[in-house]
């Protein structure tokens, strides 16, 4: 049971992304009520462990029962161990790529491969045991901090939970709580800040130890101090893993091996930051816009002090 539902919990937070304006509770109900749109494939033993590479080949996709085509002729490859940034306009289909990768939906046309295997020939368990998602709105359940971290791997020993918490830069905070790792968090327990929740999510992902990682807006809405500790934790987590970074804030993709720019349901630019900047395309424009916005924000911030 746990093996099946663990990825579903993560999926819930992935899906929550698309539900702007809904309460968390509505979001959860919506997903629990949502019928699986695809049937699981029978798990067939693989000749060799799955290689953490990803391929989208001519993928066309729209959500069942809707008319808008989200992806059309979407093509890209991610090699094992590569760190890829996904950028593009809001609603451009970044999170939808993750939902497809987790096989919550099948494409209308084209093929998605994991380690060279068509996703439709792999079981949910085979697919989802390869992938961890660290999302901006991590789901914490009513329970101890320890249990919330252990959700990443239910049979982890206490010292493994603590090691993950240390690597995620959350151990000192947890140790300072009234009951330490036994402190109840979640809706009726101790409230965690956004940054603390993210670090719990990172600790979970460290425990899960999957070869593929999806970072969904992992650095939004935290202060500078939190940002530094989270970035450190993320650097540990990304080490040696194939990583997809879904970003609004372009600063989080600058260090990626490659950046894919989505527009009109396709990859329109593909390269390193420096290359895309030099080519003067959409990515360079988005960067310039964001730089203007953030310097405008600084001016506004500075005004009261200057007055």
Shortest reach from residue 92's CB to ligand ATP, in Å: 4
3 state DSSP class of 85: strand
- Contact status: 13 vs ligand ATP (CB under 6 A): no
Smallest CA-to-CA distance from 193 within 227, 166, 167, 241 is with 227
115/265 with CB nearer ligand ATP: 265
The window from 62-70, 115-123, 177-185, 193-201 that contacts ligand ATP (CB under 6 A) reads: 62-70
- By CB under 6 A, the residues from 68 to 87 that bind ligand ATP are 70
Query: How far is the C-alpha of 86 from the C-alpha of 95, rounded, in Å?
Result: 9
106/162 with CB nearer ligand ATP: 106
Q: What is the DSSP letter of 211?
A: S
88/107 with CB nearer ligand ATP: 88
147/216 with CB nearer ligand ATP: 216
Q: Token match 């359940």: residue?
A: 141
Shortest reach from residue 269's CB to ligand ATP, in Å: 15
Structural tokens at position 294? 């953030």
50/97 with CB nearer ligand ATP: 97
Task: For the beta carbon of residue 20, count every other beta carbon within 10 angstroms.
Answer: 9
105/173 with CB nearer ligand ATP: 105
Query: How far is the C-alpha of 51 from the C-alpha of 238, rounded, in Å?
Result: 16
Selected from 66, 159, 303, 305, the binder of ligand ATP by CB under 6 A is: 66
Query: How far is the C-alpha of 233 from the C-alpha of 95, rounded, in Å?
Result: 23
- By CB under 6 A, the residues from 242 to 271 that bind ligand ATP are 248
228 CB-near residues (< 8 Å, 6+ apart): none
Query: How far is the C-alpha of 72 from the C-alpha of 56, rounded, in Å?
Result: 11
Query: How far is the C-alpha of 262 from the C-alpha of 258, rounded, in Å?
Result: 13
Selected from 17, 55, 136, 148, the binder of ligand ATP by CB under 6 A is: 17
Note whether 203 and 13 are within 8 A (CB): no
Total interface residues for ligand ATP by CB under 6 A:
14
Pattern 89-128, ligand ATP, x by CB under 6 A: -xxxxxxx--------------------------------
Applying CB under 6 A, the residues found at the interface with ligand ATP are: 17-18, 63, 66, 70, 88, 90-96, 248
């Amino acid at each position: 049971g746990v093996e099946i539902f663990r990825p579903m919990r993560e999926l819930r937070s992935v899906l929550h992304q698309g539900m702007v304006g809904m309460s968390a509770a509505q979001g959860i109900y919506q997903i629990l009520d949502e019928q699986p749109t695809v049937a699981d494939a029978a798990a067939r033993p693989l000749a060799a462990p799955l290689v953490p590479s990803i391929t989208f080949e001519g993928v066309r996709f729209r959500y069942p029962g809707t008319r808008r085509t989200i992806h059309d002729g979407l093509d890209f490859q991610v090699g094992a161990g590569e760190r890829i940034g996904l950028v593009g306009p809001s609603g451009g289909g970044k999170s939808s790529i993750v939902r497809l990768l987790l096989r919550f939906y099948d494409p209308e046309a084209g093929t998605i491969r994991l380690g060279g295997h068509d996703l439709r020939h792999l079981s949910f368990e085979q697919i989802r045991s390869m992938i961890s998602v660290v999302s901006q709105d991590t789901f914490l359940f009513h329970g101890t901090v320890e249990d919330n971290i252990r959700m990443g791997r239910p049979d982890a020993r206490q010292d493994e939970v603590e090691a993950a918490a240390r690597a995620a830069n959350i151990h000192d905070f947890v140790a300072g709580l009234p009951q330490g790792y036994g402190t109840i968090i979640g809706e009726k327990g101790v409230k965690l800040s956004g940054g603390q929740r993210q670090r719990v999510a990172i600790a979970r992902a460290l425990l899960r130890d999957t070869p593929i990682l999806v970072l969904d807006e992992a650095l939004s809405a935290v202060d500078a101090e939190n940002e530094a500790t989270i970035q450190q934790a993320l650097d540990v987590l990304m080490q040696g893993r194939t990583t997809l970074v879904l970003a609004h804030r372009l600063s989080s993709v600058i260090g990626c091996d490659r950046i894919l720019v989505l527009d009109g349901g396709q990859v329109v630019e593909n390269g390193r930051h420096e290359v895309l900047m030099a080519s003067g395309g959409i990515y360079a424009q988005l960067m310039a816009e964001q730089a203007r916005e953030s310097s405008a924000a600084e001016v506004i911030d500075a005004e009261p002090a200057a007055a």
